[in-house]
Structure 1
Amino acid sequence: MRSKTRTVFSSGLVAGTLDITAAILVYAVILHKTTAEKILQSIASGIFKKEAYTGGSEMALIGLGLHFLIAFIFAWFYFKIFPYIPFFKINTFLSGVAYGFFVWVVMNLIVLPIVFPVLPEKKLDFPLLLSILIIIFCIGMPIAFITRKYYAKWY
């Protein structure tokens, strides 16, 4: 990667694309729990509440935009903290796992409870483990590997 901006943009774009693709494939296509449009509308509902579910494809597009905004923020944050955490330079795979888990914790234990005060109780079961694995492999890993490529020239 030649520039900081390109690194953050590409890692956020890859992570956001992998994450939303995995969510749609798993929850809409394989498990038939919802639809792709409802997944995207649920992201938009963080801002627009119940109105997001009646807004059709417009709200789905807003949800997609918000999803990528969040991915870019997490990519930027990892990029900024990378030089200060020696562990990130030692093992990129484990760094991706750790950062993916960190992203899951931030989103599921901080952001979502603030945005949606009434959420179902979390149980240690297959859906919970699946959601953690999706975040680790679709968000944490790509951000870690793409960011490391940029910083490789510095160490």
Structure 2
Amino acid sequence: MNNKYKTNNSNHKRTKVETILWAGFLGGTLDALAGITVYWLILGRMNIIQVLQWIASGVFGKQAFNGGLAMALVGNILHYTIAYAVTIAYFFAASYLPQLRKNSTIIGLLFGLLIWIIMNIVILPLSNVPPMPFEPLVAAMGISWHMLLVGLPIVRIINKYFDNQ
């Protein structure tokens, strides 16, 4: 049976762009789902729209919470912009520092920790996000999900790209 539409994706090597797009999308999506799960379902502090508005508040301040779905969309765009920025940063770091490609699990977990540290210690305090008190349990959840659901998948996908070269 000859089917011109049948493809064998197991032999497909991703391009640099495909790799970055997939890694950034997966890391960004898992991060968003974790944030929604923690802040809405576990802590009951913000619904999905408010979580996205909170992200938009980094640029627009408290006004973001009055911006409805439009501001939630802006928050979503900002969220994925950050996810792709960290993905691109790791891709270029790994292309110049092959030692980053040696142990994807450890490097991925450390990269996720680094993302959380930079976002929470540097970026958020410099943004317009309304200040929130430090809560050790919330910080532990954030660190955990950034390590497991953001850093690890991004690093594994990108390191697999380099392994296939």
Pair in the same fold by TM > 0.5:
yes
* Counterparts of 1:44 and 1:121, CA distance in 2: 19
Q: Max radius of gyration: which structure?
A: 2
Partner residue, 1:108: 120
Indicate yes or no: 2:30 matched with 1:30: no
Partner residue, 1:72: 84
Select 2:73's aligned residue among 48, 61, 72. 61
Determine what percentage of the aligned residue pairs are the same residue.
Answer: 34
Q: Mean Cα displacement is larger for which, 114-123 or 93-102?
A: 114-123
**Letter matched to residue 78 of structure 1:** Y
Q: Give the superposed CA RMSD.
A: 1.6
* Counterparts of 2:19 and 2:96, CA distance in 1: 17
**Structure with the larger helix share:** 1
Partner residue, 1:143: 154
- Unaligned ranges ≥5, structure 1: none
Indicate yes or no: 2:9 matched with 1:20: no
**Structure 1 residue ranges (4+ consecutive) displaced by more than 4 angstroms after TM superposition:** none
Indicate yes or no: 2:142 matched with 1:127: no
* Counterparts of 1:141 and 1:126, CA distance in 2: 21
* Counterparts of 1:40 and 1:121, CA distance in 2: 19
CA distances 1:100-153 after superposition (whole Å, capped 9, x unpaired): 011111111111111148734535x22111110111112101110110111002
* Counterparts of 2:160 and 2:86, CA distance in 1: 17
User: CA distance change for structure 1 residues 135 and 39 in 2, over 3 Å: closer, same or farther?
Assistant: same
Indicate yes or no: 2:104 matched with 1:92: yes
Q: Assess if the C-alpha contact under 8 Å between 2:112 and 2:151 holds in 1.
A: yes
- Unaligned ranges ≥5, structure 2: 1-12
Q: Tell me the number of residue pairs that the alignment of Structure 1 and Structure 2 aligns.
A: 153
Q: Assess if the C-alpha contact under 8 Å between 2:62 and 2:129 holds in 1.
A: no
Partner residue, 1:7: 19
TM-score with structure 1 setting the length: 0.92
